[in-house]
Amino acid sequence: MKKQQVGKKFDTGKSPVRKGVLEYFPRAILEVGNLSGFGAEKYDWGNWEFVEDAINRYGDAEIRHICEAAISGETDKESGLLHATHAAWNALAVLEMKLREKEAAKQLADKKEAEQRRNHMTDAFAYTHSGFDMAGVPGFEPGIESILYKKPICKQGGSTTKG
């Protein structure tokens, strides 16, 4: 008889979406989906992503639905769904927009950092291989490393960089 091999799955540290969201909140997720369908009929699918000042406007809508539930009852008259469903949908829209902004900011910062590294490496290569006399360059300090390796050492902004 053949010994059964144990399969591998490298998912440690990844989000437990099924267990942590779907199994915890199946009714809420279905209801938010119903509200998305209602909104798509009213506005169109995906329209919510293009609303100007979305984070503030969806945040305001979330709070309005919480207040409406306290004032006039749990059910939204227009949709027939709970105000809590509207509040949850709006909270998810705010969260999604904030996460997208954070992701875009990180991508932009990473791109700028990579560009700066490329520029610095290009400049350093050009100086070290051009035969350029670095003695007249502000911040250049010849040292043992620069003499041994024929690479200039420049001080920029208080830190030492190797060319």
Return d(Cα 163, Cα 150) in angstroms, integer. 10
**pLDDT at residue 123 in the model:** 62
Provide the pLDDT confidence category of residue 9 given band limits of 50, 70 and 90: confident
Quote the CA–CA distance of 68 and 82 in Å, as a whole number: 10
Q: For residue 150, list its beta bridge partners.
A: none
Q: In this predicted model, what pLDDT tens digit does every residue of 52-100 receive, in sequence order?
A: 999 999 999 999 999 999 999 999 999 999 999 999 999 999 999 999 9
Handedness of CA 19, 22, 26, 29 (dihedral sign): positive
* pLDDT computed for residue 142 by the predictor: 56
Quick check: 69 and 28 in contact, CB under 8 A?
no
pLDDT at 151: 52
The CA distances from residue 64 to 48, 51, 57, 91, in Å, are 17, 18, 10, 12
pLDDT at 127 over 70: no
pLDDT in tens, 128-154: 555 555 555 565 555 554 554 555 555
Phi, psi torsion values for 153, nearest 5 degrees: -115, 120
Give the model's pLDDT for residue 29. Answer: 97
Is there a contact between 76 and 83 (Cβ–Cβ < 8 Å)?
A: yes
Judge residue 30's burial from the number of C-beta atoms within 10 Å of its C-beta, 0-12 exposed, 13-18 middle, 19 or more buried. Answer: exposed
Higher pLDDT, 113 or 78: 78
Mean predicted lDDT score pLDDT of the chain: 83
Q: Where are the domains of the chain?
A: 17-112
pLDDT score for 46? 95
pLDDT score of 16 more than 50: yes
User: Does residue 38 register a pLDDT over 70?
Assistant: yes
Residue 142 or residue 25, greater confidence: 25
Which residue in 120, 134, 131, 59 sits closest to 92, CA to CA? 59
**pLDDT for position 163:** 47
